[in-house]
């Protein structure tokens, strides 16, 4: 059983968090889900609705997987040392750290992506790249698996990445089971990224 | 500007709520999002993480769109008269009522689907059908647009349905914009349902 810690902050993107948590959550014998934030309690998403952070950063147990969403809140959270410090410390200890969308900007500012290959949201690509000058940014990728750190493209790409991480950690059958339960057509090719072209990066 | 009211109950499925809210939420000039439950405050999902209901049923403003998720909680919530009574009353007043997955069982028990065509989760199809003997259940459909009530198949199908509802209410371009922002490949054909076959219904 692995514990997945999903990091929340004001202005997080709803699907960046809840797409991956849905996929992990289908496999309840394999993954326990935990939401975390600087302070425990309600955290407002970019879209308005609030989710509850069950634990504060200070009170977080060991995390096997660390999930970092994007969203408009990243624009200010890149300056939040409490958040980037938590990410730096916990990414070192985690088996796999995952970011979705502009969550890669937070990992970049935390130094977690230095010397690694990574991708991010395609519409916000230039801004995220500017947060990580020592990162090998990959413009055309649905997600990039760099081993201990896996980064996905925008929003819904987080679901495809999560299924790939499940396949790696648990097995292809488990990922296919999760996709089937979600009635989701898994885009399982990490290199197939039509949105890069759409946003002039392909 | 239309108000979307998303109904929460203990054991709601995360992606059933937050997939559609993500799609509506991208179009902030068109849709305002509101979460509702029998009592305002934190509501635990089927997967564990809690979302906050901003308003109680008693305190809910007029809703243009009513979103009803599924999840394991529906198994007991079909007996919750406070919930089905709220759905019956608010579906009558709403421009469009949407259900995702086994949320159709709640609408069925509320009488909202009587005499209408509807679909639901394919794995739980038989149980949902048993909740609505006066409903014309459609086994092979990603979603069914019956005008004032639109019902989708399991979990991720809610995103495809929501984009179709956006296309009908606002325009195809708005739906395509939302999909693009989510970097989501919209499965825009309501009749294309590979999961019906997978679960022996096709």
pLDDT at residue B202 is higher than 90: no
CATH number at residue A192: 3.40.50.880
Looking at the structure of chain A, the number of domains it has is 1
* A155/B184 CB distance under 8 A: yes
d(CA B31, CA B54): 16
Q: How far is B71 from chain A (nearest CA, A)?
A: 11
**Closest Cα to residue A68, out of A5, A123, A124?**
A5
Q: Is B109 helix (H, G, I), strand (E, B) or coil?
A: helix
**CB contact at 8 A, A150 and A165:** yes
Q: How far is B6 from chain A (nearest CA, A)?
A: 10
Q: pTM of the prediction?
A: 0.97
Mutate to test the interface with A, among B46, B52, B183 (most CBs of A within 10 A): B183
* A182/B155 CB distance under 8 A: yes
Q: What's the mean pLDDT when you consider all of chain A? A: 97
Q: Which residue has the tokens 């937070």?
A: A106
* B54/A54 CB distance under 8 A: no
Cβ contacts of B132 within 8 Å, gap of 6 or more: B104, B105, B107, B108, B109, B113, B114, B118
Q: Which residues in chain A touch residue B197, judged by CB atoms under 8 angstroms apart?
A: none
pLDDT digits 0-9 by tens, A125-157: 999 999 999 999 999 999 999 999 999 999 999
pLDDT digits 0-9 by tens, A11-53: 999 999 999 999 999 999 999 999 999 999 999 999 999 999 9
What percent of chain A lies above the pLDDT cut of 90?
99
Q: How far is A67 from chain B (nearest CA, A)?
A: 14
**CB contact at 8 A, A153 and A193:** yes
pLDDT digits 0-9 by tens, B83-107: 999 999 999 999 999 999 999 999 9
**pLDDT tier for residue B32 given thresholds of 50, 70 and 90:** very high
Size of interface A-B (CB pairs under 8 A): 127
Closest Cα in chain B to A160: B184
Domain range for A139 is 2-198
pLDDT at residue B127 is higher than 90: yes
Q: Which residues in chain B touch residue A29, judged by CB atoms under 8 angstroms apart?
A: none
């Amino acid at each position: 059983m692995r514990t997945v810690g999903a990091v929340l902050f004001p202005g997080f993107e709803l699907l960046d968090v809840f797409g991956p948590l849905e996929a992990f959550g289908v496999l309840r014998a394999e993954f326990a889900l935990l939401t975390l934030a600087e302070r425990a309690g309600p955290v407002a998403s970019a879209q308005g609705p609030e989710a509850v952070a069950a634990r504060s950063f200070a009170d977080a147990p060991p995390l096997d997987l660390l999930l970092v969403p994007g969203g408009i809140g990243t624009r200010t959270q890149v300056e939040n040392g409490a958040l980037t410090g938590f990410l730096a410390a916990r990414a070192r200890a985690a088996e796999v750290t995952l970011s979705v969308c502009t969550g890669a900007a937070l990992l970049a500012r935390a130094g977690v992506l230095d010397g690694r290959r990574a991708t991010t949201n395609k519409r916000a690509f230039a801004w995220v790249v500017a947060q990580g000058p020592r990162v090998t940014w990959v413009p055309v990728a649905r997600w990039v698996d760099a081993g201990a750190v896996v980064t996905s493209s925008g929003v819904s790409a987080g679901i495809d990445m999560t299924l790939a991480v499940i396949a790696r950690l648990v097995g292809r059958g488990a990922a296919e089971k999760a996709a089937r339960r979600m009635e989701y057509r898994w885009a399982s090719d990490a290199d197939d990224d039509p949105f890069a072209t759409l946003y002039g990066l392909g």
